[in-house]
């Protein structure tokens, strides 16, 4: 009987807690939560989809093959099963507590050639003719084997500790024998 009364009391208290706000009040409540007002809580930047920059779009030209477009922009985010000649590149970025940025680019093909482009970004006129920035060329000398890296030097040092060439602990008999040999050598030198 006590268990029944305790369980009924728990159920009644839970109903009271959930009944504090009606569904109508929840609909009208602000979308921000309590956590958004705390500056300590971290929300990471969330990137989803294909990152397509304006420089990449500027390199697109009508008449390019699907393979060339895939090389420039990567695999499309969406390829419609019913419209195989349309590729969609979608990108969304939500920066922490900020707003969501959304970009869309649709490419239309005909007979395996790029026909036209729709979306938030368009190729700039003469975009493909832009001279690329100067490349930095770094010459790296060939490895000659003399200079060892940190990891290799550390491994060799550790292997040296456990090698058979290192002195080991001696027994008392060996120590006495070694001491006698040293004494004999000193006596010979004195004579």
Confidence class of residue 172 from pLDDT cuts 50, 70 and 90?
confident
Tell me the per-residue pLDDT of 70-117, one tens digit each, with 9 for 90 and over: 999 999 887 888 888 999 999 998 887 788 889 999 999 999 999 999
Give yes or no for a contact between 102 and 50, defined as CB atoms under 8 angstroms apart.
Answer: no
The domain spans of the chain are: 47-122
Tell me the per-residue pLDDT of 114-133, one tens digit each, with 9 for 90 and over: 999 999 888 887 655 555 56
Q: What per-residue confidence (pLDDT) applies to 20?
A: 47
**Phi then psi for 49, rounded to 5 degrees?**
95, -160
Among 120-124, 156-160, 163-167, name the one with the lowest average pLDDT: 163-167
Look at residue 37 and tell me whether its pLDDT is greater than 80: no
Confidence class of residue 10 from pLDDT cuts 50, 70 and 90?
low
Q: Which CATH class is domain 47-122?
A: alpha beta
Tell me the per-residue pLDDT of 104-113, one tens digit each, with 9 for 90 and over: 999 999 999 9
Cβ contacts of 87 within 8 Å, gap of 6 or more? 69, 76, 78, 79, 106, 107, 109
Q: What per-residue confidence (pLDDT) applies to 26?
A: 42
Look at residue 169 and tell me whether its pLDDT is greater than 80: no
Section 51-70 average pLDDT = 91
Listed residue (131, 130, 103) closest to 117, CA to CA: 103
Look at residue 39 and tell me whether its pLDDT is greater than 70: no
Listed residue (101, 126, 158, 64) closest to 87, CA to CA: 64
Section 43-64 average pLDDT = 89
């Amino acid at each position: 009987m006590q268990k029944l009364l305790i369980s009924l009391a728990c159920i009644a208290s839970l109903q009271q807690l959930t009944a504090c706000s009606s569904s109508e009040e929840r609909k009208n409540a602000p979308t921000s939560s309590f956590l958004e007002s705390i500056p300590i809580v971290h929300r990471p930047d969330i990137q989803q989809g294909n990152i397509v920059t304006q420089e990449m779009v500027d390199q697109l030209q009508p008449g390019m093959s699907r393979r060339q477009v895939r090389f420039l922009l990567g695999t499309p985010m969406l390829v419609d099963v019913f419209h195989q000649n349309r590729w969609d590149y979608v990108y969304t970025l939500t920066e922490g507590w900020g707003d969501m940025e959304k970009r869309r680019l649709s490419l239309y093909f005909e007979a395996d050639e790029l026909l036209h482009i729709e979306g938030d970004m368009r190729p700039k006129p003469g975009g493909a003719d832009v001279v690329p920035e100067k490349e930095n060329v770094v010459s790296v000398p060939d490895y000659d084997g003399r200079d060892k890296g940190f990891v290799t030097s550390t491994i060799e040092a550790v292997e040296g500790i456990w090698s058979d060439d290192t002195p080991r602990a001696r027994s008392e008999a060996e120590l006495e024998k070694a001491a006698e040999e040293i004494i004999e050598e000193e006596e010979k030198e004195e004579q």
